[in-house]
Amino acid sequence: MTNKALLIIDMLNDFIDPEGSLYCGETAPVIVPHIKDLLAQARQAGDHVIFLQDSHDPDDLEFKKFPPHCVTGTWGSQIVAELTPVAGEQVIPKKRYSGFFETNLEQVLAAAEIKKVTVVGVCTSICVMDTVGGLANRDYKTVVPEAGVADFDPDMHKMALLRLRNIYGAEII
């Protein structure tokens, strides 16, 4: 394995499928083929592949801000079929925006001696941005392919990409 990781954030039915309870809009399914290509490249190169999976309890307080979504064990919380993990790839459930909040992501990255993380997924201005902030706070070199992220709101998406680059130092490609 290399010291690189592909971090795939919340590519779940509730966000990506038009039937999902918190569908991110028409830009969300468009990123799936690009992520699928990056996933194939990462697998071929021997990079680490890590999926972050929004996974909420039925009474999660987040549902005061957003409709119920990605309830643990439901169709909505499952990774979209096109990106199904294979043996050896980590799936880390999370209950909040940042992939670091009350998860073992920090330990997984450290144990694998990761130096560079490519981040893709949804939503650019929420979970992607908060997780990239966590990577920046831990001094990881971070790359965000613009074709691999999407958001509900085009203006927030643009703002998030600027913040990822200008504040967190992520390379936007």
* pLDDT attached to residue 70: 98
CB 105 within 8 A of CB 50: yes
* pLDDT attached to residue 1: 87
CB 21 within 8 A of CB 14: yes
Residues 6+ positions from 89 with CB-CB distance below 8 Å: 49, 50, 51
pLDDT less than 70: residues of the chain = none
Which secondary structure element, helix H or strand E, spans residue 58, and what is its range? none
Domain 4-172 has CATH 3.30.300.30: no
> What residue spans define the domains of the chain?
4-172
In which residue are the tokens 């965000």 written? 144
DSSP three-state, residue 116: strand
Alpha-carbon gap, residue 91 to 102, rounded angstroms: 14
* pLDDT attached to residue 117: 98
* pLDDT attached to residue 29: 97
Alpha helices (runs of H) in 20-123, residue ranges in sequence order? 27-30, 32-45, 105-111
* pLDDT attached to residue 156: 98
Alpha-carbon gap, residue 61 to 152, rounded angstroms: 21
Alpha-carbon gap, residue 19 to 142, rounded angstroms: 32
pTM score > 0.85 for this model? yes
